[in-house]
Chain A
Amino acid sequence: MKKLITLTTFMLVAVCNVAAQTVDVGVAAATDDRYCTTCHGVEGRGNIGVQAPRLAGMEGWYLKRQLENFRAGIRGTHAADVQGIAMQAMAVKLSDASIADIVSWVSSWEYIAAESTVDGNARRGRTAFGTCAACHGADAQGNEALGAPALAGQNDWYLITQLKNFRAGYRGAHREDSFGAQMLTMSRTLTDDQAIIDVVSYINTLQK
């Protein structure tokens, strides 16, 4: 009799467990590495809420290089590069095929210029931008031959963070980051935070 009661109890528990989980919410399918939009927003338009920049409109060659740099620890490993560290943790898991898939996916998104959030002195920034234009182009449209990405249309808060990171050596200091090293040097021509805000305010006027 005791055995029967035990068995019945067991069956009841088993039934309850099944009943409690009739809605299948426990199984995730990680079929790809397309996590981008959680941070970078719908269709990669950028999200200030988590400080993740716009990907839509980013050149494929530049996106590939950055993902590879993150993966190799060339970018996103400096302790002060808070957002870079978050990106690096994801990128380190990516295979070449995943990077190719992501680059292709991102290229399908429509380019929409990011909204302006800073209000610096664009006139002063234009003068400073002369140095930037040598590589990034007069309209900040980018230049693949020189390895310089487009800046126009990018989230201005992201450009500011990156310029500050370059200037402080949080980005571009890795010995294998040759393009970053150039930027690290050039960023130091912007002597204070206001100069950075001014040049980014000018870039805002170039949105294609």
Chain B
Amino acid sequence: MIETTLERGVGLRIRPWLGIAAAASFVVASFMALIWAPADAVQGEVYRIIYVHVPSAWLAYLAFVVVFLASVGWLWSRRPLFDAIAVASAEIGVLFTGLALVAGSIWAKPTWGVWWTWEPRLVTTAVMFVMYVGYLLLRGLSTDFQRRATRAAILGVILVIDVPIVHLSVLWANSLHQLPTVLRAAGGPALDSSMLLTLMVSVAAFTLVYAYFMSARVAIELVRQERLWIRT
């Protein structure tokens, strides 16, 4: 009980500031992405979707790695907070995986010429989406708190294997998706400094949104844990 009050108290004090920071950085990122950054020499204005697509994909990775860490935390210590973090992060991760897929699809049509094609990066990302939808389903169908948390944690550990596969899938010979622009194997980021700065600000803005969503969703989950299951 004391633990919960403490957790919720810290959450309550930080959350409004997180919200303000997320909203403000979002306004700045939107301005930079839509007006301040130059058009691309080859793609023209269409390339600006990168400022939504890449941060969404980054958040998907981040969220699922957090699910993995929280799952290990639960299996290790059985602290309910870890379970709350895992479910919150999984839900946000599914949301942003979907957003990355949709934004990527909208970007692909005018540039590649197709909405979708069976290419390694696209397929592994879609598989990752379905896997974590399954994770949420498993949680939704379970009825006992301890069992639900343990089963979900085991699945959370297994599923994280797909995250590096998605990221490295573009390195397989003969794929269509472009290689990572910022985290390149050789040399520095392959984009203009103003574009790089805009991308960095966008990623920061999305990460703040993630942190804000997390603080809110974890707080809801802690209340639910208390209402539905008597916590020790």
Partners in one complex: no
Q: Which residues of A contact B (CB under 8 A)?
A: none
